[in-house]
Chains A and B, each alone.
Chain A
Amino acid sequence: MTMAKQPILEIRNLHVSVNHTPILRGIDLVIHHGEVHAIMGPNGSGKSTLCYVLAGREGYTITEGQVLYDGKNLLAMSPEERAQAGLFLAFQYPVEIPGVGNMYFLRTALNAIRKHRGLEPIDAMDFLQLVREKAKLVGIDERLLKRSVNEGFSGGEKKRNEVLQMAILEPTLAILDETDSGLDIDALRIVADGVNALRNDQHAVLAITHYQRLLEYLVPDYVHVLIGGQIVCSGGPELAAELERRGYAELGSQVTAVVQ
């Protein structure tokens, strides 16, 4: 099928500024269905900016370049259109929304996406069953689901809640923004299992991380290193291990030397 040839995400020479300060300075990245990509980089390299730009948050100026999602201009879509088209961002710092029930929130989101896919709204009982099943999978206490969105959740519980949402919404492209940060080893495994469960030739994952740790559980097909708003090198899973051994500083200076 020619469809499989079409990348799910294609970033071409993306330049992004925040308040006139350039943050991303020419990103090129192509992700196909079924692939898992990891982007690693030190603090301040532009990792979170990339995530937010892809999810459509305001406050970022695209000064150059384009992003195609499934062949369409992603940057012209509203955040909800992107979500409905199957793009999902697991937030590094999920937002607390007092007064809005977790279940209500999830069902509204799921139905919005189902509607876009031409499906009927999910039956209340089916939904309850689906949530229970997935909650068990990611190890979320059912009582948390009855609370307001992320309200009073611990850091780890928030991250699991992101993975639960991902499991229920079944995105075509899941972007994980440092989902591993602040997690203990058990939680990390649960998150990785959740992502791995999603892995097949129709779905793709872009995992942004600071450390190699997550990648031991979530073996990527490709690893990219982001420094100073540019992807300075790309490789296979072995690159992550090398980074862990040598650190960003050495790699960074090496790359800078090459560029100069």
Chain B
Amino acid sequence: MPTSTAKIEEIVSREYQHGFYTPIEEETVPAGLNEDIVRLISAKKNEPQWLTEWRLKAYRHWLTMREPTWQNVRYQPIDYDAIHYYSAPKMKKQPKSLDEVDPELLRTYEKLGIPLREQELLAGVAVDAVFDSVSVATTFKEKLAEHGVIFCSFSEAVQNYPELVRRYLGTVVPYSDNFFAALNSAVFSDGSFCFVPKGVRCPMELSTYFRINAAKTGQFERTLIVAEEGAYVSYLEGCTAPMRDENQLHAAVVELIALEGAEIKYSTVQNWYPGDKEGRGGIYNFVTKRGICLGRRSKISWTQVETGSAITWKYPSVILRGDESVGEFYSVALTNHYQQADTGTKMIHLGRGTRSTILSKAISAGHGQNSYRGLVKVMRGAERARNYTQCDSLLIGDRCGAHTFPYMEVRNSSAIVEHEATTSKISEEQLFYCQSRGISLEDAVSMIVSGFCRQVFQELPMEFAVEAHKLMGVSLEGAIG
């Protein structure tokens, strides 16, 4: 093995930086799942009857389902009875302002680089922070309200805007959609809700930070974003968790709805704890994300940077129902050590003149296994539908794997669907060139990997792009050998 390759692997293994645990008093329901637990969660949230019923229907349906096995990842069976389905920081009452939030919690977010207090540092970004299962703080609410934008925790939305929630919840991802979506529908505890009314361009980026803290809990949040006619919103989510030896399940559902002429841009920087170098611990990130372009000329764009989690398994998708609607998926997925990822997207073309673009960059290092799986489906009525897909894989070291599984199903003769994929290793020539110009090997690798991901990073809002670049450097540490 050339020395540079050995070095490259060495560089790619630094410790996870967000692995601390916050000692805070939490209220946790007993482990295991049954109808009583579902009712208990619903009662704790003071939910209306219809929502309790909906959860129970989801739970009963879940009981009839089997955990899927088709994905290209391997993991020990999950014991669903060992999981605590609800855990929340103990608070006397729902905080009215940041002053009422437990200072320990605020410190946690500051440690993560998300100072909820020092809003000027995040100028122009409204933040909703979700700690274990509940939302602890949402900033900039008033300013957003001036524009008619609703941005709050899901629980608050259920209390304050029950009609909106009822109209849209489960319309994109029904509770029966898949095993993990059914589980989420039964036990989801919080998440973010965003509603941008007709003609409004949301004046700032909206952001949610998810944090798993308690041990042996699952995190099941639910996000619902609705953009009415001509509205625009850019939404970001970030995720971290403490280092633990056991695996923790994160099964979220995200639903996006874009009406005529609306645009939703959804960006994720996922940095859940990936497990240690030996593959112990880490988050199972089994998430259902789907948007629907309901109206003409609407647009949904997913951008994801997936560097964390022991297993990442998600396919942020777009149903292109409105004529001339647009779906986009930009993804960087990095697997190092024993991480596994099976991720991609589904673009379902129903409307005329619908267009979709898929750009996936997968990096495998260590023993990481990285699969792109994507479906492009053009239904019969989708005249002149267009798709372009590009999937590139980069391998660092000879013990990792890169896999590409594109599915193209076309039933319209005027459609054009194109797919291109390449797999290569980090080029010795490029490394040498950088080094001969005085750049350290570590910087060279990071530079080349960042270059490889550039097209995707460009799609991220500025603050996240910077963070994503940093994350790539950190996540790759120890991969260079």
Assess A/B contact in the complex (Cβ within 8 A): no
B residues with a Cβ closer than 8 A to A are: none
A residues with a Cβ closer than 8 A to B are: none
